[in-house]
Structure formats: C-alpha cells, structure tokens
C-alpha cells in the first residue's frame, strides 16, 4: 500500500484517486476549489460518472481516500503525486500549462521525502522534462523528485470502468526506480503495462486521441459525400467494419466530435508540429472537417426555413455525448446561440446537462430569441416547428417516429446522431434530415 496524492479532482484526477483507493492505496485528493472539496467530503461527486459516487462513499468510509485544499499536507509525505489538472487550449491552439506549473511549484515547496511526480494531464511532448527541472529549481528540501508520464485514456461517460479495466497503462519513465514504483502502484489493477520513455508516452496520448479524431472526421467527410452521391453512410460503415484493419468502432458519422479532449488535443499537436516546422496535414484536415460539421445541420435547416424568427425549436440533448454532464465543445454550444440570434424560441431538453447549459445561457429572453429548459422530451416537442437532436441520450432514443409526427406542429427533424432508420421516419411522414443519408421530405 502506497501513499498517493492527486492534484486536481476533475474527470481524470478524481477518477484516478478513487480507483487507486479502490485498489487499496491510501489517497489524498487535492483541489483548489473549496466548494468541490466540501461536496466530495459529504460523499457527493462534483461530476456525473457511472459508479463514481458509490466508490467515493465506499472508500471514504473505509478511510482510504480523503479530500483537501491543503496541498502541503497532502504532498509532503506522499510516495507519488499524480497531476490531473487541466491543460486547456490557448487562443493559438497550444496547451495552457499554467495549472501544471502551479502544482509543480506547490510540490517543490511541500515535499519532505523522495517522491515520484506523475503527470496524468495531457501535455506537449517535452513537458515532463520541464516539470522535473522546474520542481528541482524550486525544491525547498534536500530530496529526490523525479517525474514520470502516465497519460490517461478514459472516456467521459465510462470513466470508472475505463480506469478499472483499462486496455493499457502507458508509463513513461527515465529511470528504473520510477518505472518500478509506477509498475508497483498499478500492480493491483492487473492490466497490461506499456513502458516507454517520457517523450514517447507524451506522444502516445496525442497520437491516440488525434487518430480517433481523424477517424471521426474521415467518416463525417465520407458521410457528406454519401449524401451527394446517393449512398447511405451507415451501410457504408457497416460494410467497412468487417475489415479487422479498420475495426468497427468510431465509424459513426454525426455532428462532429466535442468534449474536452479531441478538439484541444488535435489543435495542440498541430501547434507542436508547427513549432518544429512540420505541417501535420492529416490532423489539420480532421480539425477543418470537424469545424464545418458542427453547424452543418443548422445551415441546412436555415436554408430550408429561411428564418427561425418566432419558431419553436426543440433541442434534444445538450452535452457533447451521453453519460456525462460535460458541455465542453458540445455542438449545442455552437448551434443554440445561432438559433437564438435568429430569433428562435428554443425549448431544450437534457437529462443532466441543462443546469450547466443554463449557466452559460440562462433561461429567458436572449435578444429576439428565448430559451426554456424543459424536463421531458414531450414538452420540448409539443407544437414545435423544428427539432434538432444533438445528443443520443436514452430518453431521446426512446422517442418514437410517431411522437414527432403527433406532438410537433411541423414534424421537421434534424438528427445529428442518426438515431432513426430513415425508412421509419418516412413511414410516419416526418421530414427527416440526418448525416450521410438521404433526406426524406
Ligand atoms: P477538469 O477541468 O475536469 O479538472 C481539473 C481540476 O483541477 C479542477 O477541479 C481544478 O479546480 C483543479 N485544479 C486546478 N489547479 C489546481 C491546483 N493547483 N491544485 C489542485 N487542483 C487544481 O480536467 P479534466 O477533464 O479532468 O482533465 C485534466 C487533464 O487530463 C487534461 O490535461 C485533459 O486533457 C486530460 N484528460 C482528460 C480526459 C477527459 O475525458 N476529461 C481524458 C484523458 C485526459
């Protein structure tokens, strides 16, 4: 059993902390957000993730995990300190490393014994070297602090499962001591470990995320062409998926990728390439396709309707994907403001994301338009002139084609998630536009 501290209790830090506690380690999670810390101490998870709250409560009761804002007490005696703070995108596309630097400084001022600092946050290649130097520059006590890279691959919505049953653990180290300690920490998980040097570990994270982003943008590009040539992208994807070299995952065309990782990590890698005088053309293409994809349905609808002014617009789903309350880079965040600008009366439904969305777009009038948050899909659809589907929540998938026909004033549906077979919508007389498939009018 090792003493672990975790800096940052977001999706990555909190889930890692809870899972290390579940594996028997003694964990202290640190965050600067006092409100968050108090919430976690009372057994409430600040984020929505399957099983997270249950494991927080179980391990808190067992005395294996605690939460604090007092970083010094958490870091001073730790065997390993995991850093899981944010590395958000800056205006030029590069990653903002200021949160990492703050934690590095706090660690340097706090540690009183040798320890391993493990960077879980996604950081540009070479950052771990700099963090190690930075800590050494500011070290107060005469101790040894080494830095290792351990990028995180969890997906929001299945974060706990993805951590407990990860497909691989990547560890990037520069010494046998660091490699052995990290391997020991992960030993109870009994998962495949890939051990490489620090720079390769940092690169594996970007290369993996950007590959997935590319796969999505590729399918969206193909989908747009499918519409023009009379093919059906879902049939195309099905046919492709039988090829082991392609695989069956991430072949769904849709309204583009969102979330806190793909958009930021594609831009960050492109920025890294630029700094090295290299033109990373494939990743650039993925970014460009995604930018256009996000407002594609809005543009189609605007052309079809001429104006949204005074129309009731049902918006089903606000989060960037189901199973999370996260809105970062969600398609809704681009489309809803466009609809409001155009004078639409938006009726938005999301089972968990509405509260966060209302912080950015409070209920009420916005210029010519307005937004109302409703508790059911029926309320959103009742007498609506048009409906946009942005997130494929179970509650949204449960809406039958007949409900659009019967509840809406005009059954005009723009589906960014290809939820329905086109023929089913056609059968009940719904005008249905989706991605990469022929529209039915
Ligand atoms: P997040 O924004 O949800 O959480 C970051 C947390 O760090 C916040 O709670 C913030 O209050 C806290 N924090 C900031 N400064 C601090 C400090 N000095 N000490 C302690 N806490 C501090 O971030 P996230 O989504 O968990 O992402 C963290 C990193 O992991 C990013 O680099 C991201 O790219 C990477 N990542 C995220 C995911 C994901 O799905 N969210 C997956 C893999 C990797």
Which residues make beta-bridge pairs with 271? Answer: none
Q: Which atom of ligand 1 is nearest to the CA of 153?
A: 43
Between CA 207 and CA 214 the distance in angstroms is 10
CA of 80 from ligand 1 middle (Å) equals 18
- Same domain, residue pair 216 and 190: no
Between CA 263 and CA 418 the distance in angstroms is 22
C-alpha torsion sign, points 74, 80, 85, 89: positive
- Same domain, residue pair 49 and 126: yes
Nearest CA to ligand 1 atom 12: 8
What CATH number did the domain enclosing 107 receive?
Answer: 3.40.50.720
- Same domain, residue pair 76 and 171: yes
309 is in an annotated binding site: no
With a Cβ cut-off of 6 Å, ligand 1 is lined by 7-13, 30-33, 36, 84-87, 99, 102-103, 121-122, 152, 154, 156, 260-261
Q: Do the domain assignments include residue 113?
A: yes
Q: Which residue has the tokens 């019967």?
A: 406
CA of 122 from ligand 1 middle (Å) equals 9
Ligand 1 mutation target, pool 9, 10, 265, most atoms within 8 A of CB: 10
Residues in the chain: 441
pLDDT reported for residue 306: 86
Between CA 342 and CA 313 the distance in angstroms is 11
- Same domain, residue pair 309 and 420: yes
Q: Which residue has the tokens 């009761």?
A: 61
Between CA 40 and CA 96 the distance in angstroms is 27
Q: pTM for this one?
A: 0.93
Domain that holds residue 110: 3-196
Q: Do the domain assignments include residue 354?
A: yes
Last residue of a domain, one of 292, 308, 333: 292
Q: Do the domain assignments include residue 441?
A: no
Q: Do the domain assignments include residue 261?
A: yes
- Same domain, residue pair 49 and 165: yes
Q: Do the domain assignments include residue 439?
A: no
- Same domain, residue pair 154 and 236: no
What CATH number did the domain enclosing 215 receive?
Answer: 1.10.1040.10
The encoded tokens of residue 93 equal: 């596309």
- Same domain, residue pair 55 and 151: yes
- Same domain, residue pair 32 and 52: yes
Q: Which atom of ligand 1 is nearest to the CA of 106?
A: 18
Last residue of a domain, one of 233, 257, 292: 292
Of 369, 228, 379, 268, whose CA–CA distance to 315 is shortest? 379
pLDDT reported for residue 1: 84
Please list the rounded mean pLDDT of every run of 10 residues in the chain (441 residues): 96 98 97 97 94 97 98 97 96 94 98 97 96 97 97 95 97 98 97 98 98 98 97 98 97 95 95 97 98 97 94 97 93 97 98 96 95 98 98 98 98 98 97 97 86
- The β-bridge relationship of strands 369-373 and 364-366 is antiparallel
Which residues make beta-bridge pairs with 347? Answer: 314, 372
- Same domain, residue pair 175 and 80: yes
Q: Do the domain assignments include residue 143?
A: yes
CA of 261 from ligand 1 middle (Å) equals 11
Q: How many CB atoms lie within 10 A of CB 400?
A: 12
Nearest CA to ligand 1 atom 15: 99
- Same domain, residue pair 245 and 166: no
- Same domain, residue pair 230 and 321: no
Of 290, 286, 311, whose CA–CA distance to 370 is shortest? 311
Between CA 330 and CA 257 the distance in angstroms is 8
Q: Do the domain assignments include residue 218?
A: yes
Is 261 catalytic? The answer is: yes
Last residue of a domain, one of 292, 309, 330: 292
The four Cα atoms 320, 322, 323, 325 give a dihedral, to 10 degrees, of 40
Q: Do the domain assignments include residue 438?
A: no
Here the ipTM equals 0.99
Q: Which atom of ligand 1 is nearest to the CA of 36?
A: 9
| Residues whose CB is less than 8 angstroms from the CB of residue 224 and which lie 6 or more positions away in sequence, other chains included | 293, 296, 436
Between CA 256 and CA 263 the distance in angstroms is 10
For 14, the 3-state DSSP assignment is helix
- Same domain, residue pair 285 and 333: no
Number of structural domains (the chain) is: 3
């Amino acid at each position: 059993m090792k003493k672990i501290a975790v800096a940052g209790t977001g999706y990555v830090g909190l889930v890692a902390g809870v899972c290390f506690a579940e594996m028997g380690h003694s964990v202290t999670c640190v965050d600067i957000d006092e409100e968050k810390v108090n919430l976690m101490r009372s057994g409430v998870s600040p984020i929505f993730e399957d099983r997270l709250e249950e494991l927080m409560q179980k391990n808190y009761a067992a005395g294996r995990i605690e939460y604090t804002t007092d970083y010094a007490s958490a870091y001073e005696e730790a065997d390993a300190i995991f850093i899981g703070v944010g590395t958000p995108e800056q205006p030029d596309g590069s990653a903002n490393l200021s949160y990492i630097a703050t934690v590095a400084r706090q660690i340097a001022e706090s540690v009183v014994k040798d320890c391993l600092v493990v960077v879980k946050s996604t950081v540009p290649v070479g950052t771990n070297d700099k963090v190690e130097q930075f800590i050494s520059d500011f070290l107060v006590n005469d101790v040894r602090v080494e830095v290792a890279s351990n990028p995180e691959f969890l997906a929001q919505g299945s974060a706990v499962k993805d951590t407990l049953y990860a497909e691989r653990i990547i560890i990037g180290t520069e010494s046998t001591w660091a490699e052995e300690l990290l391997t020991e920490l992960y030993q109870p998980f009994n998962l495949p470990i890939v051990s490489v040097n620090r720079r390769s570990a940092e690169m594996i994270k970007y290369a993996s995320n950007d590959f997935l982003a590319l796969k999505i943008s590729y399918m969206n590009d193909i989908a747009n062409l499918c519409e023009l040539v009379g093919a059906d992208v879902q049939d195309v994807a099905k046919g492709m998926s039988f090829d082991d070299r392609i695989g069956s995952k991430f072949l769904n065309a849709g309204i583009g990728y969102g979330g806190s990782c793909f958009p930021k990590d594609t831009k960050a890698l492109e920025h890294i390439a630029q700094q090295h005088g290299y033109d990373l053309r494939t990743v650039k293409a993925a970014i460009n396709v995604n930018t256009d994809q996000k407002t594609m349905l809005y543009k189609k609808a605007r052309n079809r309707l001429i104006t949204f002014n005074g129309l009731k617009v049902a918006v089903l789903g606000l989060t960037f994907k189901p199973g999370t309350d996260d809105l970062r880079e969600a398609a809704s965040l681009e489309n809803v403001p466009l609809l409001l600008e155009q004078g639409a009366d938006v009726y938005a439904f999301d089972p968990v994301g509405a509260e966060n969305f209302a912080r950015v777009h409070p209920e009420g009038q916005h210029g010519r338009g307005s937004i109302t948050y409703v508790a059911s899909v029926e309320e959103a659809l009742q007498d609506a002139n048009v409906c946009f589907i942005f997130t494929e929540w179970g509650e949204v998938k449960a809406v039958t084609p007949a409900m659009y026909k019967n509840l809406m004033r005009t059954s005009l549906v723009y589906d960014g998630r290809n939820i329905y077979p086109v023929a089913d919508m056609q059968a009940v007389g719904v005008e249905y536009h989706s991605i990469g498939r022929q529209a039915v009018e």
